[in-house]
Amino acid sequence: MGNVDIFALDEKTYSLDIIMVEAKFYRVEADHVVCELCPRACKLKNGEEGDCWGYTNVDGKLYASSYGRIVTAVYDPMEKKPFFHYYPNSTVLSVAANGCNMRCQFCQNHEISLERKEHKEISLQTLLDYSGKSHSIGVAYSFTEPLTWFEFLLDATRKLKGIGQKNILISNGYANEKPFKEILPYIDGINISVKSMRQEVYDKYVEGNLDVVLNSIKLAHDETHLELTYLMIPGESDSETEVGDFVDFVAGVGKDIPVHFKRFFPHHKMSHFVMTPNESMVKAYKIASQKLNYTYLTDTDIDGVSDTFCPNCKRLIIKRRDYQANLGGMRGPNCKFCGHRINIKF
């Protein structure tokens, strides 16, 4: 595991035409085009670039200007993404493009999501080659918003699926339904992050629409392996009421969905906030555990909150520590004590 020197990636099959891929979702209106990939619906005149930096109007056509351009590549443990119920103890090549379609004031990756960063142009073949190195099982499109990398994502996921490698998305779920449905068949696992259950919080700190995100969660649940991350912003999204609303929503979609409550850290434009207190994290764990089968807390040293307990017999079946999972309580995908089928992919 570790960093890949993306600026030394092999360019053997790269050719300049790959940077001129036409966008799949846009319409032409008078003197501009309107991007239809996400709800921001950027209106772009000739030469203008979308808010996510992924699309540019060139002479009245919209092009996927971030196609084949990556700003980071690293081999990560699957548990770090976080995915606790998808190929435990595996490694995945994690890559990102520059830019995002949200404006999270707390973004931990703002250096690559909200600031311009030098990129590397790579071919699909290079991505495929690296996806299998260092025992990686595939590619995680991560760190920034992968859905605004749509055309590259579509081509890469199709190719990877074709050679039996896995495609993982770590996403804010902020895309229009049509493109989202088009990419889902190629996605083996997705972790969608929810920042709050109140639109005011999305308006104030994120620039996004909560209903769109919740709809993406429902769509993803029907189609692929889904895990969720809920951000515990102190005083904004960590109240018992709001956590309860989130838990009720998830329970309505599927009680077996693994949920990760993520501790908030003061960062970027919200460095004046405090870290989520342990008290709120523990309350969230207790509230969620009453209705959901797989609840986890991230970034805490509280014992047991990253372990898996059988929803049927309540015995400890997976112990996790430092991104390593001890599966001693499992027999295949079942609890070894009572035989209950666990929502986990191997």
Report the nearest approach of ligand SF4 to the CB of residue 260 (Å). Answer: 26
Which single residue brings its beta carbon nearest to ligand SF4?
50
Could you tell me which residues come within 8 angstroms of residue 44 by beta carbon, excluding any fewer than 6 positions away?
32, 33, 34, 35, 50, 55, 56, 57, 62
The CA distance from 142 to 83, in Å, is 12
- Shortest Cβ 336–ligand SF4 spacing (Å): 46
46 DSSP 8-state letter: T
C-beta closer to ligand SF4: residue 35 or 284: 35
Nearer to ligand SF4, 50 or 138 (CB): 50
CB nearer ligand SF4, residue 38 or residue 342: 38
310, 340 contact by CB (below 8 A): yes
CB of 106 to ligand SF4, least distance (A): 19
State in angstroms the smallest separation of the CB of 19 from ligand SF4. Answer: 16
Q: Which is nearer to ligand SF4, 57 or 90 (CB)?
A: 57
Residue 327 structure tokens = 């599966």
Note the residues at the interface with ligand SF4 (CB under 6 A).
Answer: 35, 37-38, 40-42, 50-52, 54-55, 101, 148
Which parts of the chain fold into alpha helices (H)?
110-113, 124-131, 150-162, 177-183, 199-201, 210-223, 240-253, 278-291
Minimum distance between the CB of residue 148 and ligand SF4, rounded to whole angstroms? 4
Residue 134 region by backbone torsions, left for phi larger than 0, else alpha for psi between -120 and 50, else beta: left
Of the two residues 50 and 146, which places its CB atom closer to ligand SF4 in the complex?
50
Nearest to 123 by CA among 240, 252, 270, 12: 12
